[in-house]
Structure 1
Amino acid sequence: MNSPNDEATHSLLRETLKVSTGKVNSYKRILLNKHGLIRFIIKSIIFFGGLTIFGILLIYIYETIKTPKYDSVLYDDNYVCHDSKTCGIKYHGDNYNFTNDDDNNNDKEINNTTVAFFSSLYSDNYLKGALLLGYTIKKHNPNHQMYLQYFPGRLSIDTICQVQSIGWIMKPVERIPPPWKGLYEGYRDQYTKLRMWSFTEFKDGIIYLDSDTVVLKYIANLFELIKPSTGFEFAASPDLWDGKDSNTFNAGFMLLKPNIDVYNELMRTHNISAYEKGYAEQGFLNEFYRYRYLRLPETYNINISLMKTTPHLWKVLLPNMNVVHYTCRKPFLRSDPGIYAEPYEFWIKLYNEMDKDLNLEKLESECKNK
């Protein structure tokens, strides 16, 4: 039997052991917590480091795709001719006579019958766009012809009647199909723009505008820029799609000089896989004319996409705008303006002005009764 002193000693030992054990467990917990914190820090570094590397890789890939390689075969004069002189020699030999092309550097006064405005209408859905474009061209450039490319059988009789009433002259054309499958539906008819180079009756120039544009000023003076003495046969404005200065142009507004030899070269080379195919004819023409076109000010093709990145420029540039291009959203197809409220209001104001001048309801009724 243990004495009271022994019991007290044992009790003290047990208490001491408990305290010691508790301290050990506490130290273990602290140590484990430290290890867990270290593991967490290491995992975080790995995760965010990997995320950073992935982001850098994405930026590199984007810049690699976005940045032109400047190595297209379409640049090479040994493979492709790009103007009436070089194509004349290519298709007719070194002794080709250029005098028939008015290429003697003696610029003559431009005859309004040898220049024209052009657009395209391949769907009844774009009727309002074509009407307003025609109205604004005539308002500011009343002495020039307007031609509308279309595919026979695609447009209703009513649509043709209405656009003719505005002043459009119908120009039936054969469709040029895209050379690649999988092209965005809205771009599949756009290679047909190449037909304009074959319209040599307008030998002094064509100003082409997409039917989702409006003209705000006199722009027929641009024909002076492609007279023989200038050395230029094609001009366009930079594409403001991303709100930055661009090294590509937008094919919704073009100044061109028709020539049958250049047309033949365009038809020969548009199916070469040497350009950004996703942009259809615009991608092709950008490569074909990259080092050989006259760059016009952005005000000749104000892309409303600037509202995405630099919306303040709308008011800044408005007094100087010559042409506005409704690329991203079209007021005649969608009533909701989204971020494009100011360009929408501008378009609607012009459309109401046209309606007041021409009485569109009466015009539509007359065309239906014909």
Structure 2
Amino acid sequence: MNAYVTLLINESYVPGALVLAKALRNNGTKFKLAILLDTSTVSAYSQNLIKELYDDIIEINDDKIFMPVDLVTRKLGRPQLAVTLTKILIWQLVQYKHIIYLDADTVPLKSLDHLFERFASQKPTEVVASPDIGWPDVFNSGFMVIKPDPSVYAFIKNYSEQGEMVSYDGADQGLLNEVFHLQDHEGYNWIRLPFVYNMTPSTLYQNSPAIERFLYDIHLVHFVGAIKPWLYGSQTGTMFHDMWWKIFNDNFLEVDRVKLLSQKPKDGLNLKSSSGSTFTDTTSIASAFSALNVEEAAKVFPWEHRDPVSATRVFDLT
């Protein structure tokens, strides 16, 4: 039995986990959806919504794993990421033969089911993942294909306890890259997927020409960083944030949306877009992006919106 698995360890990521599940369902997955859930930090209301969408709820209240908070704070400035090391629990989920792990701030635009067959012969000591943006040459741990194995879990856990240098960023991505890629651990290996399987729209590389050229190759969008779509509001002027809000608005009742966003911006409740679109294939993606006006959303970054100015000083270099 194969499964998609995500991790939810606080209330603030509930909207993301719900949209992730809806996107997977809309794309027609035939596999189970499972969630590692800290029920002590997620409200009963949110848990009921989660149970409607996820097949397996795996409570991790007493099983969470932390990197040293001071280390994550010093290296990344985000102490809340210390608990993300909990995601290594996926290697313990031996009830599943094969797992596609997804962070709760990801949204698949196409079915990912083919990856289970494509990597059917994958070894437990191998991780399938896309490269992170820019340098260094490492993989992003927000989307991974893995085979559970208790011995691999034990190896990762033991390695994580050997001091500061086990993670270059102080968090799970640094640790997992050290284990599977950067250090010479016999048999441990990173199998590289193209960047379009884990596209991060908030980075320098994702300029408008690249988006225009590779738009319909994108399998998954990953909203990295501290600002998530459900915190940002809907009217951001970027197609991918608007896409997230469309899935949220089309698939959840207004009473649930209001409740989920009661402490967050609510303007996304009024996003106007055609209903009924799923992101199942290139046709539906094209239709959805057409409704969102891709050309108007081509300027992704704040510095791309500056008004043109004339030069104040000219040098003659001849």
Measure the CA separation in 2 of the matches of 1:226 and 1:233. Answer: 10
Is 1:156 the equivalent of 2:156? no
2:70 pairs, out of 171, 181, 184, with 181
Amino acid in the other structure paired with 1:194: I
- What residue number does 1:270 align with? 160
Measure the CA separation in 2 of the matches of 1:223 and 1:130. Answer: 21
Q: Deviations over 1:203-231 (max 9, x none)?
A: x2110000011111111111124333779
1:196-211 matches, cutoff 5 A: 196-202=90-96, 204-211=97-104
- What residue number does 2:247 align with? 350
- What residue number does 1:323 align with? 220
Secondary structure of the 2:91 match is helix
Measure the CA separation in 1 of the matches of 2:201 and 2:48. Answer: 30
TM-superposed deviation, 1:168: 4.7
TM-superposed deviation, 1:333: 1.3
1:61-72 matches, cutoff 5 A: none
Any conservation in 2 of the 1:236–1:295 contact (CA below 8 Å)?
A: yes
Amino acid in the other structure paired with 1:333: L
Q: Which stretches of structure 1, 4 residues or longer, exceed 6 Å deviation after superposition? A: 229-232, 362-365
2:106 pairs, out of 193, 213, 218, with 213
Question: Which shows bigger deviation, 229-238 or 314-323?
Answer: 229-238
- What residue number does 1:16 align with? none
- What residue number does 1:172 align with? 59
1:281 pairs, out of 166, 169, 172, with 172
Measure the CA separation in 2 of the matches of 1:250 and 1:134. Answer: 20
Any conservation in 2 of the 1:205–1:226 contact (CA below 8 Å)?
A: no
Q: Structure 2 vs 1, CA of residues 178 and 206 (structure 1 numbering), >3 Å: closer, same or farther? A: same
Amino acid in the other structure paired with 1:143: K
Is 1:125 the equivalent of 2:23? no
Any conservation in 2 of the 1:190–1:281 contact (CA below 8 Å)?
A: yes
Q: Structure 2 vs 1, CA of residues 295 and 193 (structure 1 numbering), >3 Å: closer, same or farther? A: same
Any conservation in 2 of the 1:212–1:326 contact (CA below 8 Å)?
A: yes
Measure the CA separation in 2 of the matches of 1:354 and 1:315. Answer: 28
Q: Structure 2 vs 1, CA of residues 152 and 341 (structure 1 numbering), >3 Å: closer, same or farther? A: same
Measure the CA separation in 2 of the matches of 1:326 and 1:180. Answer: 23
- What residue number does 1:249 align with? 139
Any conservation in 1 of the 2:82–2:171 contact (CA below 8 Å)?
A: yes
Q: Deviations over 1:322-361 (max 9, x none)?
A: 11001133111122766x6232222222223323xxx353
State the TM-score, normalized to the length of structure 1. Answer: 0.60
Secondary structure of the 1:218 match is coil
Larger radius of gyration: 1
Any conservation in 2 of the 1:117–1:208 contact (CA below 8 Å)?
A: yes
Any conservation in 2 of the 1:178–1:191 contact (CA below 8 Å)?
A: yes
Q: Percent identity?
A: 25
Q: Structure 2 vs 1, CA of residues 299 and 308 (structure 1 numbering), >3 Å: closer, same or farther? A: closer
Measure the CA separation in 2 of the matches of 1:134 and 1:168. Answer: 10
Secondary structure of the 2:41 match is coil
- What residue number does 1:135 align with? 22
1:271-310 matches, cutoff 5 A: 271-272=161-162, 273-290=164-181, 292-306=189-203, 310=207
Secondary structure of the 2:181 match is coil
Q: Structure 2 vs 1, CA of residues 230 and 348 (structure 1 numbering), >3 Å: closer, same or farther? A: same
TM-superposed deviation, 1:364: 8.2
Measure the CA separation in 2 of the matches of 1:320 and 1:300. Answer: 9
Amino acid in the other structure paired with 1:209: L
Any conservation in 1 of the 2:5–2:34 contact (CA below 8 Å)?
A: yes
Q: Structure 2 vs 1, CA of residues 219 and 228 (structure 1 numbering), >3 Å: closer, same or farther? A: same
Measure the CA separation in 2 of the matches of 1:306 and 1:181. Answer: 26
Any conservation in 1 of the 2:19–2:107 contact (CA below 8 Å)?
A: yes
Secondary structure of the 1:327 match is coil
Q: Deviations over 1:305-324 (max 9, x none)?
A: 23576243223222111110
Amino acid in the other structure paired with 2:140: N
Q: Structure 2 vs 1, CA of residues 332 and 300 (structure 1 numbering), >3 Å: closer, same or farther? A: same
1:4-43 matches, cutoff 5 A: none
- What residue number does 1:332 align with? 230
TM-superposed deviation, 1:363: 8.8
TM-superposed deviation, 1:128: 1.2
**Larger helix proportion of the pair:** 1
- What residue number does 2:267 align with? none
Secondary structure of the 1:302 match is coil
Is 1:239 the equivalent of 2:132? yes
